[in-house]
Structure 1
Amino acid sequence: MNRYAYLLKEIFECNTITQRELANKLNLSLGSINSLIKDAMALNYLYKEGSSISLTEAGLDYLAPFKVERAVIMAAGFGSRFVPLTFETPKGLLEVFGERMIERQIKQLHEAGVFDIVIVVGYLKEHFEYLIDKYNVKLVYNPDYSTKNNISTLHYACKYIENSNVYILSSDNWMRDNMYHSYEPYSWYSSIYMEGNTNEWVLDFNKKREITSINVGGRDAYVMYGPVYFSKDFSKEFMPILEKAFVTPGSDDWYWENVLMSELQKKNSTLPAIHINPQPENQVYEFENLEELRAFDDKYMENSGNVALELIAKVFNIPESHIKGLRTLKAGMTNKSFLFEVDNKSYICRIPGKGTDVLINRSNEYDCYMAVKDLHITEKIIYFNKESGYKISKFYEGSKNADAFNKEEMSRCMDLLRTLHETDVSVSHSFDIAERIEYYTGLCEKTGGISFEDVESVHKNMTVLLDLLKEIKSETCLCHIDSVADNFIITSDNKIKLIDWEYAGMADPIIDVAMCAIYSYYNKSQADELLETYLKRKPLTDEYKKFYSYMALSGYLWALWTVYKANVGEEFGEYSLKMYRYAKDFFNEVMKL
């Protein structure tokens, strides 16, 4: 540790600081502090002015290499433990005591003289745009925020970090007192002491407070908690290591701290020291979930301002504070959902996804639920709003999704579909795949076009299949349409339910089997086996023609659906490519027949 830099930094911030206070801050004896001050004055770094000590020009020049150049704030993630608040607002923009967490940090940085601030955004990135005008920050977009951990955030901010004196901050941290400075003499990671067992990242360090190793989990230990500072010599060495790790297969789930942990384990590491920076109790807050935020700021107990929580409170006639156990579910492609508890019973609240108002007719969905209610094959509905699409349903503890590659489970799924198709229940609307293809094509053209180069020829091929289906006579019945394996729920008492009836309507029953096949990414032989399982016999030639036609048409339909979603800002990775491939491959299979 550079004692002169540390001494000058403390005196720069408060020229009336006492020698005893300096001794405590530098962890030195009073005698050592006295000698250090005398030496600094002899080197013309300090001068006395009455009862205070100030820095000379030479002292400021000595401190110059330790000047904090900027801060990089990580704000790309979703904040899954804060659902449903983060469905509407990024975690860093949540308020604590009426002040947004990220704005509090920006103001604290400004107070310390740090004005070059870079915010790495991803999820709901547009919500951060106002900060450019309000605080003159820079925004950097992390396109991998939904598929990779925060190693990607540092990767996309690399040019702002490497060879710089830079703070690395999380947008959702809350610091009671300002812990930022104009000058920092060494690299550090903020830490707090945790008694008892912990699953946090535990820091081991030597007498110089240099971090020697990092372990996940421990007992009665200092743990990583809060802000980080990289000195220029540290960032120069560390960032190339991180960049190499970023392109290493299997690193998608890594935090950037994984890279640091791995590097510290190497005996021949050339990485400069990074120190532990212990913080007093109640200084740094990393809220783990909404329950912790409620305990800290009682505004969130009864008046969160969140539409979903207000709805739940109204439906169950309870105050918001009685809504417990909030946790996210895997986001669907159309909607977002979360779990919650009321009176020790678990439920799911569905929130319609972006753009679903033009994709889903909620009144039709409601009619389907009502039509099959007496069959007892759906989830139990507690609340359904035909206008907004909000839905609250029972959560089946101990249940599991059907496994698309478990033959026994898929046989049960096909049995349920057959039971549905053989009933006489009906609704007044149909699922017309030709009409849907035309409709989705129009949506795509209005919002940016269709990027597939050969879409015109593929579209013509789909028209051929639609004409073929008209020639093959078929009966219609109520079909689910969204018969992905994940929508078949096997309960703890081994019953099977079919959930999420958003696309359901009157259609040819074979379409449900075709949809299930492409959702499961089945190849031809797996798809053939599924059709045979559904029919309980060898299919006829016309049944194969219908099946392959619906697989192709459905693939094309969902490829268009995904293109539209991408045009309005929601990406689904390679899903569109896989669906488009079904359109092509199974058109060819029909032609062979």
Structure 2
Amino acid sequence: MNTLILKKIMTNRISQREIALEVGVSLGKINKEVSILKKNGYINEKNSITKKGKDLLESNHPRRAIILAAGYGMRMVPINTEEPKGLLEVNGEPLIERIIKQLYNVGIKEIYIVVGFMKEHYEYLIDKFDVKFIINSHYETYKNMYSLFLARDYLINSYIIPCDIWFKENPFSNVEGESYYLFSKEQVINSKWKVQPRGGVKKSSKELGDRMVGLAFINRRDGKLIKDLLNKVNQSPNLFHNFWEKILEQNKKFILKGKLISSDNFKEINSYEELRDLDFNSSHLQSDSIKIIENILKTDLNGISNIKVLKKGMTNRSFFFEHNDDKYIMRIPGKGTDELINRHDEFETYEAIKDLGWTENILYLNPNNGYKLSKFIKNAKNCNPNDLQQVAKCMDLLRKFHSSNIKVNHCFNLYKQINFYEDLRNGQSAYRDYKTIKKRVFKLRPFIERNVKKKALCHIDANPDNFIFSKNHLYLIDWEYAGMQDPDIDIAMFAIYAMYDQQKIDKLIQFYYHNQCDSLTKQKIYAYIAACGLLWSNWCEYKQSLGLDFGAYSIAQYRYAKEYSKKVLNYLGE
């Protein structure tokens, strides 16, 4: 309180009554504090600040700032596929540049930016503003608690600032008193905190709390405390999956004072629509995907609503949106996709199957870059691989498709693709016995090729998630990998995606063959399971080299290669 009153006296030269109204406490409280300041020599009898008072203010002068800019900003689709959210422009000015300029205006020039996703895009700030970078290499795995941990040595007398916020007026000052966390007066569901009249922060007794803005000032005492808390988090790294504000709750109490800002004075930009509402003319609203949507649907920015990122796919990044009363999905090819998929082959496949009544409705597909716009299937649910009735229907659809006599000019060469993915990963496999298992899988090739009865257009990526039930209709979607092959490969693919054991695999085979599958064909499907397991194991290792991890799925695929190659070779007496 003392430094706050001193600041008001020095900067505004306002009366004690005016200070009381502005601070939100009684006049009597201000008069008492002023008396203490006079007694201690911080102000004189004329209520002017003394040299001692100025020294006190100087000791509470913010020295530096930490800007958190490492994350994906997944809710910013489709913009985050082209630019990190800290560089989104509002009124022609990148968000992070506005923050830096506001810091400069109060004399703060020691600025640390924690970067990760698209970090190269921020590089120019080093020359333009003399900022310093802290690199977060785990931005895909952890939330911003880890970013703050990396910057823990710079917490004392520092502002902590999210990169995706726009302040109408400068929120920073050359003098601060106590540490604080900034809240908005807007009441929201996802906050449990309420700022009290004198700055204390308590848990709200209602379902709504004051909106947490993300900005904080940390003085010397609290800087040491928060650094210690972050070091404790480092001993249990799973806690890095939380936002940094999590450590502000200790023993069920909020350890910093709260400061309120009007919701009219700032905008947190977490989504495409929030940016659009703040600055309709922002250059970042016109991404390639949005231009496609506008052209195909004959609409403009106002006609696109409810944009949501879909579950992060293994190959692509996609987002959902609404236009009028219809729903759509826009696919944007993911990291490394160009190496994995021939988009011209995909285009040929979709042209060949476009008259079938059980594929997704494609409105736009670019064979050069893989952008795809399709209509959302309403009332949709993915096949549940543990629901045998659903699985039986999926196998009947596959059988029907394989009998449709649809042909394309490209094939899916299984063993060639195994080598291709192996080359892409550019290094030794993480599996110690990889060479032995690969040799075993390749030993199955002559057996497979001798027993191929026919070639047909196969889906290749026939996993349960790509079978969609909608009311009384069943769809098979996402034909990126499709090509001419032995239909039995699709049975094998379904089995390994579902991570079936042998009993379930045998049941699946009989669903497809209506209980008429002979022993030789079953062994051939086992051989496909081994080969396809090795294929997707190599695929996973390549993706992991790009920073993507698929958990249990990747090990399961390698186990299929190892176990089922052994089963078939034993059957063949080799």
TM-score (normalised: structure 2)? 0.89
Q: Is 2:222 the partner of 1:234?
A: yes
**Aligned 8 A contact 1:202 1:224 in 2:** no
1:209 matched to 2:199? The reply is: yes
- Deviation of residue 505 (structure 1)? 0.5
| CA distance in structure 2 between the aligned counterparts of 1:538 and 1:240, rounded to whole angstroms | 67
Change (3 A) 1:556 1:64: farther
Q: Tell whether the 8 Å contact from 1:108 to 1:180 is kept in structure 2 after alignment.
A: yes
Matched, 1:554 2:527: no
Q: Does 1:423 align with 2:407?
A: no
- For 2:178, the equivalent position in structure 1 comes to 186
Contact 1:15 1:52 in 2 (8 A): no
1:467 aligns with 2:449: no
The answer to whether residue 569 in structure 2 is matched with residue 591 in structure 1 is yes
SS in 1 for 2:341: coil
Determine the structure 1 residue equivalent to 2:514. Answer: 536
Once the two structures are overlaid, the 10-residue window that deviates more, 35-44 or 541-550, is 35-44
Q: Distance in 2 between matches of 1:126 and 1:528?
A: 51
Query: Does the C-alpha gap of structure 1 residues 361 and 55 become closer, same or farther in structure 2, counting only changes over 3 Å?
Result: farther
Deviations 1:425-478 (A, max 9, x none): 111111011111222233333xx5645444333332232122332333432111
Contact 2:144 2:244 in 1 (8 A): yes
Distance in 2 of aligned mates of 1:560 and 1:485: 21
Cα shift at 1:179: 1.2
User: Which residue of 1 is the match for residue 265 of structure 2?
Assistant: 283
SS of the residue aligned with 1:118?
Answer: strand
**2: CA distance, partners of 1:494 / 1:401:** 13
CA displacement at 1:538 relative to structure 2: 6.5
Q: CA deviation at 1:129?
A: 3.2
CA distance in 1, matches of 2:553, 2:298: 41
Aligned to 2:280, which of 286, 298, 302?
A: 298
Worse-matched range after superposition: 183-192 or 530-539: 530-539
Contact 2:88 2:284 in 1 (8 A): no
Q: CA deviation at 1:404?
A: 2.2
- CA deviation digits over 1:311-352, x for unaligned, max 9? 111112222322222221112111111112222211111112
Give the direction of change, closer, same or farther, for the CA distance of 1:516–1:397 in structure 2 (3 Å limit).
same
Which residue in the other structure is 1:274 paired with? 256
The aligned residue for residue 485 of structure 1 is 464
Superposed CA deviations along residues 286-327 of structure 1, whole A, max 9, x for unmatched, are 135322322221215x98221111111111222232222222
Q: Tell me, what secondary structure is at the counterpart of 1:388? A: coil
Counterpart of 1:172 in structure 2: which amino acid?
D
Cα displacement (A) at 1:501: 0.4
The alpha-carbon distance between structure 1 residues 201 and 443, as it changes in their structure 2 partners (threshold 3 A), is same
SS of equivalent residue, structure 2 residue 189 = strand
1:254-282 per-residue CA deviation (whole Å, 9 max, x = no partner) reads 43334434x2526xxxx7x4112111341
Residues 192, 204 of structure 2: 8 Å contact kept: yes
Contact 1:414–1:534 (8 Å) recurs in 2? yes
- Which whole-Å CA distance do the structure 2 matches of 1:358 and 1:451 have between them? 21
**CA separation of 1:243/1:477 partners in 2, compared to 1, >3 Å: closer, same or farther?**
farther
CA deviation vs aligned residue, 1:379-402 (integer Å, no higher than 9, x gap): 111112222211111101221111
Contact 2:360 2:375 in 1 (8 A): yes
Contact 1:444–1:564 (CA under 8 A) maintained in structure 2: yes
Q: Are the counterparts in 2 of residues 325 and 341 from structure 1 also a CA contact under 8 Å?
A: yes
Q: Could you tell me which of 80, 105, 118 is aligned with 1:111?
A: 105
Number of corresponding residues: 571
Cα pair distance change 1:165/1:215, threshold 3 Å: farther
**Contact conserved, 1:174 with 1:284, CA < 8 A, in 2?**
yes
What does residue range 57-96 of structure 1 map to in structure 2 within 5 Å? 58-63=52-57, 65-96=59-90
Quick one: which of 357, 376, 382 aligns to 2:363? 382
| Aligned AA (1:485) | P
- The residue aligned with 2:337 is 356
Unpaired segments of 5 or more residues in structure 1? none
User: Which one of the candidate residues 3, 6, 10 is aligned to 2:4?
Assistant: 6
CA gap of 1:259–1:513, structure 2 versus 1, over 3 A, is: farther
**2-structure distance, mates of 1:119, 1:100:** 15
Counterparts of 1:378 and 1:174 in 2: how far apart (Å)?
Answer: 44
Change (3 A) 1:76 1:533: farther
Distance 2:216 2:535 in 1: 48
- Give the counterpart letter for 2:120 in structure 1: E
- RMSD in angstroms over aligned alpha carbons? 3.1
Q: Which amino acid aligns with 1:210?
A: G
Question: Is contact 2:24–2:198 with CA below 8 Å preserved after alignment?
Answer: no
Q: Name 2:161's counterpart in structure 1.
A: 169
- Cα distance change, pair 97–409 in 1 and its aligned pair in 2 (3 A): same
